[in-house]
Amino acid sequence: MYPRPTPGSTFVRDTAKGYTASRALDTLPQTVASPGEALFTITGGRVLVTRLVGEVTTTAIEGTNPVLSVTSAPTVGTAVVLASTVDASSLEIGGFLSVEGDGSALVKSNAGAVLATAVPTAFIVPVGSIGLISGANKTGAMKWDLTYFPLDEGAAVVGTTV
């Protein structure tokens, strides 16, 4: 059937909303090229991602742009940009970066709410990883959450350990 949580991982299933995987708080990667620092690992098959959002937690993002983007790096094939850069400079604690999955810029929101498109976009990722690319050495700390549905039996997503 479908995967069960592994010990020590954050893995929640809700039949109406899918599964949720979380990546714990970590500082921004420092000048990391494609495919980026792995946020999530996808195993066992393809998944349909319905939400991917990062929240600035204990350290605000530095006052100049860290040039952040998000990629899907398959085990076999070529990495694809899920969300291109947005000026994330000075993003406050409690602020969000949201991934639409269509290659457009990350959606930046301050602490009040996560802004979303009028029509939410889901996207499919294969076995591999979802990574965060940073074009500069900047301060900032974020946690990430991803909601998905397995498309293949045994497919699962786990947040990478920090």
Please give the pLDDT value at position 109.
86
- State the Cα–Cα distance between residues 157 and 21, nearest whole angstrom: 6
Q: Indicate the domain borders of the chain.
A: 11-152
Q: Which two tokens stand for residue 119?
A: 């029509």
Can you tell me which residue has the tokens 């993002």?
61
Please give the pLDDT value at position 119.
52
- State the Cα–Cα distance between residues 19 and 32, nearest whole angstrom: 28
The pLDDT tens digits along the chain (162 residues) read 445 555 445 555 555 678 999 998 888 888 888 888 999 999 999 999 999 999 999 888 888 888 899 999 999 999 999 999 988 888 899 999 999 889 888 888 888 777 665 456 799 999 999 999 988 888 889 999 999 999 999 999 999 987
- State the Cα–Cα distance between residues 96 and 2, nearest whole angstrom: 30
Please give the pLDDT value at position 131.
94
Please give the pLDDT value at position 1.
42
CATH number for the region 11-152 comes to: 2.60.120
